[in-house]
Amino acid sequence: MSALNANLYGVLQSGFPKNRQAVAIETPTRVHTWQDVESLSGRMAAWLASTGIAPGSRVAVQVEKSPEALMLYLATLRAGFVYLPLNTAYQEAEVAYFLSDAQPAVVICTEASRHWCEPLALQHGAQHVHTLEADGSGSLMRALEGLPTAFETVHCNPGDLATILYTSGTTGRSKGAMLTHGNLGANALTLKDFWGWRQDDVLLHMLPIFHVHGLFVAANGALLAGARMIWLPRLDIDQALRELPRCTMMMGVPTYYVRLLADPRFDRALCRNMRLFISGSAPLLEDTFKEFRARTGMTILERYGMSETNMNTSNPCDPALGERLAGTVGPALPGVAVRVVGDDGQPLPAGQPGHVQVRGPNVFSGYWRMPEKTREEFTDDGWFRTGDIGVFGGAGIPDHYLSIVGRSKDLIISGGYNVYPKEIELVLDAMPGVQESAVFGVPHPDYGESVMAVVVPREGAGLDLASMQAELKVRLARFKVPRAIVEIQALPRNTMGKVQKNMLRQQYADPS
By the 8 A CB rule, do 442 and 508 touch?
yes
Q: Which residues contact 152 (CB under 8 A, 6 or more apart)?
A: none
By CB under 6 A, residue 280 contacts ligand MLC: yes
Instruction: Report, in Å, the least distance between residue 364 CB and ligand AMP.
Output: 11
Minimum CB distance to ligand AMP smaller for 67 or for 416: 416
Beta-sheet pairing, 384-394 with 412-414: unpaired
Report the C-alpha gap between 54 and 47 in whole angstroms. Answer: 14
Instruction: Report, in Å, the least distance between residue 416 CB and ligand AMP.
Output: 8
Minimum CB distance to ligand MLC smaller for 71 or for 260: 260
Which residue is closest to ligand MLC by CB?
415
By CB under 6 A, residue 447 contacts ligand MLC: yes
By the 8 A CB rule, do 215 and 263 touch?
no
Strand partners, 385: 357
Interface of this chain with ligand MLC, residues 465 to 494, rule: CB under 6 A: 478-479
Segment interacting with ligand MLC, rule: CB under 6 A, options 71-79, 212-220, 271-279, 285-293: 212-220
Minimum CB distance to ligand MLC smaller for 48 or for 301: 301
Instruction: Report, in Å, the least distance between residue 297 CB and ligand AMP.
Output: 22
By CB under 6 A, residue 416 contacts ligand MLC: yes
Report the C-alpha gap between 445 and 448 in whole angstroms. Answer: 6
Q: Where are the alpha helices (H) located in 401-464, listed in sequence order?
A: 421-429
Find which of ligand MLC, ligand AMP, none residue 216 binds, CB within 5 to 8 Å per kind. Answer: none
Strand partners, 341: 347, 355
Torsion angles phi and psi, residue 511, rounded to 5: -65, -20
DSSP 79-100: TT-EEEE--TT--HHHHHHHHH
Minimum CB distance to ligand AMP smaller for 47 or for 166: 166
Report the C-alpha gap between 120 and 267 in whole angstroms. Answer: 48
Strand partners, 185: none
Interacting residue with ligand MLC among 218, 222, 232, 253 (CB under 6 A)? 253
Instruction: Report, in Å, the least distance between residue 209 CB and ligand MLC.
Output: 9
Instruction: Report, in Å, the least distance between residue 177 CB and ligand AMP.
Output: 8
Find which of ligand AMP, ligand MLC, none residue 500 binds, CB within 5 to 8 Å per kind. Answer: none
Interacting residue with ligand AMP among 88, 281, 299, 374 (CB under 6 A)? 281
Instruction: Report, in Å, the least distance between residue 56 CB and ligand MLC.
Output: 25
Instruction: Report, in Å, the least distance between residue 97 CB and ligand MLC.
Output: 19
Count of CB atoms situated within 10 Å of the CB of 458: 12
Interface of this chain with ligand MLC, residues 66 to 105, rule: CB under 6 A: 89
476-489 CB burial, b ≥16 within 10 A, e <16: bbebbbbeebeeee
- Total residues at interface with ligand AMP (CB under 6 A): 19
Give, in order, the Cα–Cα distances in Å from 365 to each of 97, 115, 181, 297, 374.
22, 35, 11, 41, 9
By the 8 A CB rule, do 149 and 40 touch?
yes
By the 8 A CB rule, do 445 and 402 touch?
no
> ∠ CA(331), CA(333), CA(339), 5° rounding?
60
Segment interacting with ligand MLC, rule: CB under 6 A, options 18-26, 262-270, 359-367, 409-417: 409-417
Instruction: Report, in Å, the least distance between residue 485 CB and ligand AMP.
Output: 24
By CB under 6 A, residue 187 contacts ligand AMP: no
Interacting residue with ligand MLC among 153, 180, 281, 314 (CB under 6 A)? 281
By CB under 6 A, residue 363 contacts ligand AMP: no
Residue 131's identity, in one-letter code, is T
DSSP type of residue 229:
E
Site string (370-389) toward ligand AMP, x via CB under 6 A: ----------------xxx-
By CB under 6 A, residue 212 contacts ligand AMP: yes
Beta-sheet pairing, 23-26 with 228-231: parallel
- Residues lying near ligand MLC in the complex (CB under 6 A) are found at 89, 207-208, 211-214, 235, 253, 255, 280-281, 305-307, 414-417, 447, 478-479
- Residues lying near ligand AMP in the complex (CB under 6 A) are found at 167, 212, 280-283, 302, 304-307, 329, 386-388, 404, 407, 413, 418
